[in-house]
Structure 1
Amino acid sequence: MLSDYIRDCVLLLRTGRLHFLIAGFLLYLIGALFAHRLGASLDLQVFLTGYLICGAAHLSVSYSNDYFDRFTDDPGIKTRFSGGSGVLPIHTHLAGAVVLTALLLSLFSLGTTVLLVLIGFFPAFLIAFVAAGITLGWVYSAPPVRLAGRGLGEVATMAAFGIFLPGGGYLFTAWTIGLEMLTLIIPFFFLGLFFIVSVELPDCTNDSKTGKRTLVVRVGRTRALIIATLGAAATTAVFLVLAAFGPDSGYFFAAAAFASVVPLSAGIAAVYSARYRILTIEKITENNMRSLILFSCMVAGYLLLWS
């Protein structure tokens, strides 16, 4: 029936957890604007084409993760930011459509990159960059590698958060790999630890039961929050060092250091709240994610206004 088809389409869209694309776009935007600040030309067509490629790859991760976690996710404890979409454990008939969507998005991302390289629109090294990002997204949850089950899920997510999203914005704008890129991706890499721990927090009990060796499962919620906050502190420290001794970039690194105090403060508050049970874990996760969005908006806003 038509109503069943429409319902399945809506559920398929929900599986993608499209709100995660907002954070991904902000990270890509920061990378592109940073490259522009360093002298690269910022062309709207190139910017949007690059994001179409990176955004499709990013979205494919939501679908592949949901597919491979469909037997372990608990829809009863999912939140806006953790536990998957909650669709497949209930609507099992959509499993094939979900993994097909993940595959098509990945093929679209890589295929578009290859095509544009062949016609001379982008440099060839971007094929390897996009392929590496897509591969990392799949092996995060797909057997037999399944990084999330081997205690390596945090490193994979830190790479996605710190390298592939802001790095994608930088490379699709600059068209070249330079040491200047490291001054952006290193602090964001550390901040990726704050992101992934925040997402893992509400899933701790279920992940422990189903064999996921996340950092939160291995060391407990409070200790994991301390480690995540140290990651945020490392981000602030790197930006401060770059502001004092790094390459000339106006006041960008100082502004980024100032903005990074937002997630750092949220992390400190989260440790205190978890230790003394002031807030629920779900509320802590929500506060941490909001702090990351605010940080990203502040950095992107600075680059937009003063590039």
Structure 2
Amino acid sequence: MHKLDVKKKNSRWYFLSEVIKLGRLPFLGAGLILYATGAVLAAIGRGYLPPDQFIMGYAILMPAHLSVSYSNDYYDFELDNPEAVTAYTGGSGVLQRHPELRGFAWKFAVLLISVSLTLAVIYTLIYRNPAVLLLAVAGNLLGWFYSAPPARLSYRGFGEVATALTGFIFPAMGYSVIRGVIDTPLILFSIPIMLLQLVFIINVEIPDLREDLLGGKITFPVRMGVRASRRVMALSAAAATVALGLLEFSPHFDPRISFPLIALLSLTLTVPCIYYYIHNPDEVNVRGSEVVMNSLIAFGVLDLLYLISVLVMQ
């Protein structure tokens, strides 16, 4: 009897671990960085960062972001190849091992979206901030229809546009919970972030090229090839660096923020993008994609830490 109980307990833990893997939690870290960057940017202008608003704002964003992993794996079930899964690409591979979890994945994604929207309504009622509700609705719709019918944005050639828009939505959520508005500084700051999100999505699409081609998924690498994809990544990263530097001349930001320094930090990503375009323009290089992804995260962390230092030293 004791052995049976141990076996049952172990199976529950295994189920839980597979459900967690479905969520691809490392991607939440990237979303938190973008959200916190927007929040700290707003806090520098406001003079302080209210912890209650920051936490509740992320409580709205996090389930919305997490739901995308579950809904994408559900709708990409026929497409994903568990043998091609990497740290950042190819889905989680869980549903291919356990197709009985497909129904759960769909229901859990819907539950997470419901939680996000409910909290957004509560936040709007408490803080009289409709911008947060609008962003929550837009973000959830974009995440759901990225793979879900009838829009299926990633299957119809709009996946890159949808992902680039998250470069506005994520920092805008953080910014709006602190400032209460969507204004010019946020829009200007979001332009280079959207360019970097374009780098992100094309970078993770390159290793999935074969599976996407076979599955009829119209991504940029499928349409234009690896060389053109790496060219766009290099140009987008370089444009983001230039755009960040040019923000130094805008009168809309706190003068204590050194945008040339942020632009310099962005070379953490721009240099690898240019390197792989020059040296491996036609190669589906999984290692290269991981380097670019890690470089993108590194820049996000460095940028956030710098902005935090500006806020703390006010």
Fold agreement, TM-score > 0.5: yes
1:26 touches 1:296 (CA, 8 Å); kept in 2?
Answer: yes
- Out of 274, 278, 282, the position equivalent to 2:280 is 274
* Separation in 2, partners of 1:289, 1:43: 31
The residue correspondences of 1:55-204 to structure 2 (distance < 5 A) are 55-118=62-125, 120-160=126-166, 162-204=167-209
* Separation in 1, partners of 2:293, 2:178: 27
Partner amino acid, structure 1, of 2:228: R
The answer for the alignment partner of 1:213 in structure 2 is 218
Partner amino acid, structure 1, of 2:308: L
> For 2:277, what is the secondary structure of its paired residue?
helix
The answer for the alignment partner of 2:248 in structure 1 is 243
Q: What runs of 5+ residues in structure 2 fail to find an aligned partner?
A: 1-7
Post-superposition Cα deviations, 1:200-246, rounded to whole Å, max 9, x if no partner, equal 11100110000001001111112101101111111111112211345
**Alignment RMSD (CA, Å):** 1.5
User: For the structure 1 residues 131 and 248, does the alpha-carbon distance in structure 2 shift closer, same or farther, using more than 3 Å as the test?
Assistant: closer
* Separation in 1, partners of 2:286, 2:66: 24
Partner amino acid, structure 1, of 2:219: T
* Structure 2 residue 298 is matched with structure 1 residue 291: no
> For 2:211, what is the secondary structure of its paired residue?
helix
* Separation in 2, partners of 1:177, 1:82: 32
2:227 touches 2:282 (CA, 8 Å); kept in 1?
Answer: no
Task: Report sequence identity in percent.
Answer: 35
Could you tell me the TM-score, scaled by structure 2's length? Answer: 0.93
Partner amino acid, structure 2, of 1:289: M
* Separation in 1, partners of 2:214, 2:60: 36
* Separation in 1, partners of 2:286, 2:128: 42
Q: What runs of 5+ residues in structure 1 fail to find an aligned partner?
A: none
* Separation in 2, partners of 1:63, 1:276: 32
1:255 touches 1:299 (CA, 8 Å); kept in 2?
Answer: no
Post-superposition Cα deviations, 1:170-223, rounded to whole Å, max 9, x if no partner, equal 111111121111121111011111100111111001100000010011111121
Could you tell me the TM-score, scaled by structure 1's length? Answer: 0.95
User: For the structure 1 residues 70 and 276, does the alpha-carbon distance in structure 2 shift closer, same or farther, using more than 3 Å as the test?
Assistant: closer
> For 2:97, what is the secondary structure of its paired residue?
coil
> For 2:46, what is the secondary structure of its paired residue?
coil
> For 1:251, what is the secondary structure of its paired residue?
coil
* Separation in 1, partners of 2:177, 2:253: 22
Post-superposition Cα deviations, 1:244-282, rounded to whole Å, max 9, x if no partner, equal 3453432332222111111110101111232375xx611
The answer for the alignment partner of 2:15 in structure 1 is 8
User: For the structure 1 residues 163 and 7, does the alpha-carbon distance in structure 2 shift closer, same or farther, using more than 3 Å as the test?
Assistant: same
Partner amino acid, structure 2, of 1:47: F
Q: CA deviation at 1:122?
A: 4.5
Deviates more, 1:202-211 or 1:41-50: 41-50
Deviates more, 1:25-34 or 1:242-251: 242-251
The aligned length equals: 303
> For 1:89, what is the secondary structure of its paired residue?
helix
* Structure 2 residue 235 is matched with structure 1 residue 230: yes
2:172 touches 2:186 (CA, 8 Å); kept in 1?
Answer: yes
The answer for the alignment partner of 2:56 in structure 1 is 49
Post-superposition Cα deviations, 1:91-138, rounded to whole Å, max 9, x if no partner, equal 0000111111111111001001112323x2351232121011000000
2:131 touches 2:176 (CA, 8 Å); kept in 1?
Answer: no
Post-superposition Cα deviations, 1:34-88, rounded to whole Å, max 9, x if no partner, equal 0011225411111111111111111111111111101110001111100100011
